[in-house]
A and B are shown apart, each in its own frame.
Chain A
Amino acid sequence: MDARVDQAPAIEDVAIETRNLNLWYGTFQALFDVDLDIRRGMITSLIGPSGCGKSTFLRSINRINERLGYVTTEGTINVLGNDVYRASVNLTQLRKHVGMVFQRPNPLPLSIRDNIIFSYKLHAQDRNRLHRSEQDEIVETALRQVLLWDTVKDRLDNSATQLSLEEQQKLCIARLLPVQPSVLLMDEPCSALDPAGTNAVEELIWELRENYTILIVTHNMAQARRASEECIFMLLGKVVEHSRTDEMFVTPAQKETADYIEGRYG
């Protein structure tokens, strides 16, 4: 079963490369020999039925899986040519370069301003000499990038948890940007939002695609179709198909993909 894109992309076009990636939760194997080349500077969506390993795959890229303690990973994941499982990898640096957005918006119980400046401060070399004006600039830039500035500019000191879910999710994206990540991982970023919120966040993700490599897990077939350039279909821990989104939805190469897209299981 050849799951790779027909023409192998040139090395410099690949943001995330995995080879023989196997992953176990205790004795349960969740990923089987995942070989993927996820291209730089575009949106790739991961689809598949519940429990197929999409979120597990996403969470192994920034190694947040390890928090669970009983996870075993084999194989390699290279992010921009660097093996993330090498012993010399510092998790703080990894997570600076690989940001993550969750299913439920999870702003910190701090003000809007402090939410944005939080990760910048974590990673800043001179965090104690950060002037208020610099902070304000960082906050404004990040909020403008997620199209939130105009709605919240007059209440930056209000609690972030009082924002609407849509605004919270945008904020959660915005707070990743000041440290200039290369990759953004998104785990069903719209599934807690209403249709209008979904639209707004999807549009935002689409806007961001030029500057970041975005990998987005979704249950929503229509979303994968309209909001991603490449698409990966996974089933039972294996990659079944990886191709351009428009191709996959019109002429899927594998029977399982066709069945899933047409809603015969899921």
Chain B
Amino acid sequence: MADSMFKATQQNVSDEHRDFLVQLLFFGMTVLLIIPVIIILCMLMWKGGPAISWEFLFSEPTNGMTAGGIFPALVGTVWLVTVALLVSVPLGVAAALYLSEYAPDNWLTRFINLAIINLAGVPSIVHALFGVGAFVLFFEFGTSILAASLTLAIMTLPVVIVATRESLQAVPLAFREACWNMGATRWQTIRRVVLPNAVSGILTGVILEVSRTTGETAPIMFTGAAFFLPFLPESVFDQTMALSLHLFVVATQVPNVPEHLPYGVALVLIGMVLLMNALSIGLRMYLRGQKKW
């Protein structure tokens, strides 16, 4: 009789059966999810791979953009992303520090938080139009790297703020309490204890922002990116080419482009983004290892 006490009932068997089916279903969904990614990468490698060469990366487009390389676009993207970062990171980190470490929990703070979430949901084309109105026309920056980067910065600001705030809040409260109890001000606490321990999370957020900024097209289309401009920009008040817009142009706007060219541009673009993400993961792993608790 002892044996039958723990024997599976009909109910147990059917429950376990269902559990297995559910697991199978979820696994299927996950596979479905990564198939497009794999197909995209394979297509790009296969069709764009032959286009990639040192010459392709480091020369200018020629023959009405049907031949030559992508160097001005590559450099332009680096400019746009760098200037956008110089604006959004200090602004975003400062705002996150205020919201996480200083702000009292009142209606104003809640309103700001709501605004940030909503800002993250604004479509990029709306940001583009805002950029035209505010930076190109009102501040009279013209269509320039500055106007385009500011537009990108505003678009990615919510990401920086949220990532920073989350990594600040991951630092245990006990450390802050210990500091306050020794008479440290909030800034002393932030500088000596909170920030050093949050920096890995902040950097991860920043790099993810970089990879997103790299690929954005709409916000820069009307604010600073040029259709065709075979010179390198010399200051933030110049226009520039950008990889993302260049891809759009060679894929849809220019006739008689050899097939490998747009695929090559796309491959470089996605390569930059993947490189950035890999860097972010590596950095995070390294900084996690440095943590002292």
Partners in one complex: yes
Contacts of A55 in B (CB 8 A): none
A96's partner among B105, B183, B196 (CB-CB below 8 A) is B183
Contact B192 A118 (CB under 8 A): yes
Contact A99 B182 (CB under 8 A): yes
Stretch at the interface among B51-59, B170-178, B230-238, B278-286: B170-178
Contact A95 B193 (CB under 8 A): no
A176 interfacial by beta-carbon distance below 8 Å: yes
B181 interfacial by beta-carbon distance below 8 Å: yes
Chain A interface residues (CB < 8 Å from chain B): 62, 64, 67, 69, 91-96, 99-100, 102, 104, 106-110, 118-119, 122-123, 159-162, 172, 175-176, 179
- CB 8 Å contact bits of B177-213 with A (1 = contact, 0 = none): 1111111110010001100110000000000000000
Contact A108 B183 (CB under 8 A): no
Contacts of A108 in B (CB 8 A): 175, 178-179, 192-193
Contact A122 B193 (CB under 8 A): no
Taking A95-B183, A108-B175 as known contacts, 9 extra A-B pairs with beta carbons closer than 8 A to each other, sorted by chain A number, are: A69-B104, A92-B184, A95-B180, A99-B181, A102-B174, A104-B174, A110-B192, A118-B184, A172-B178
B291 interfacial by beta-carbon distance below 8 Å: yes
Q: What's the nearest-Cβ distance from chain A to residue B277, in Å?
A: 28
Contacts of A106 in B (CB 8 A): 174-175, 177-178
Chain B interface residues (CB < 8 Å from chain A): 104-105, 174-175, 177-185, 188, 192-193, 196-197, 291-293
Contacts of B292 in A (CB 8 A): 109-110, 159-162
Per DSSP, chain A at the interface is helix
Contacts of B175 in A (CB 8 A): 106, 108-109
Q: What's the nearest-Cβ distance from chain B to residue A82, in Å?
A: 16
Contacts of A160 in B (CB 8 A): 292
| Docked pose: A69 CA to B106 CA in angstroms | 11
| Docked pose: A18 CA to B193 CA in angstroms | 34
Nearest 3 CB-CB pairings of A with B:
A95-B183, A119-B182, A92-B183
Contacts of A96 in B (CB 8 A): 182-183
Contacts of B180 in A (CB 8 A): 64, 67, 95
Contact B293 A109 (CB under 8 A): yes
Q: What's the nearest-Cβ distance from chain A to residue B292, in Å?
A: 4
Contact sample, A vs B, 7 pairs, CB 8 Å cutoff: A93-B183, A94-B183, A95-B181, A96-B183, A99-B182, A106-B178, A160-B292
B184's partner among A62, A93, A122 (CB-CB below 8 A) is A122
Q: What's the nearest-Cβ distance from chain B to residue A135, in Å?
A: 15
| Docked pose: A179 CA to B105 CA in angstroms | 33
With both beta carbons as reference points, the residue of chain B lying nearest to A111 in the complex is identified as B292
Q: What's the nearest-Cβ distance from chain A to residue B287, in Å?
A: 13
With both beta carbons as reference points, the residue of chain B lying nearest to A118 in the complex is identified as B182
Contacts of B192 in A (CB 8 A): 108, 110, 118
B188's partner among A64, A69, A122 (CB-CB below 8 A) is A122
Q: What's the nearest-Cβ distance from chain B to residue A57, in Å?
A: 16
Given known A69-B104, A109-B293, contact A100–B181 (CB-CB < 8 A): yes
Contact A176 B182 (CB under 8 A): yes
* Max chain A C-beta neighbours (<10 A), residue from B104, B174, B196: B174
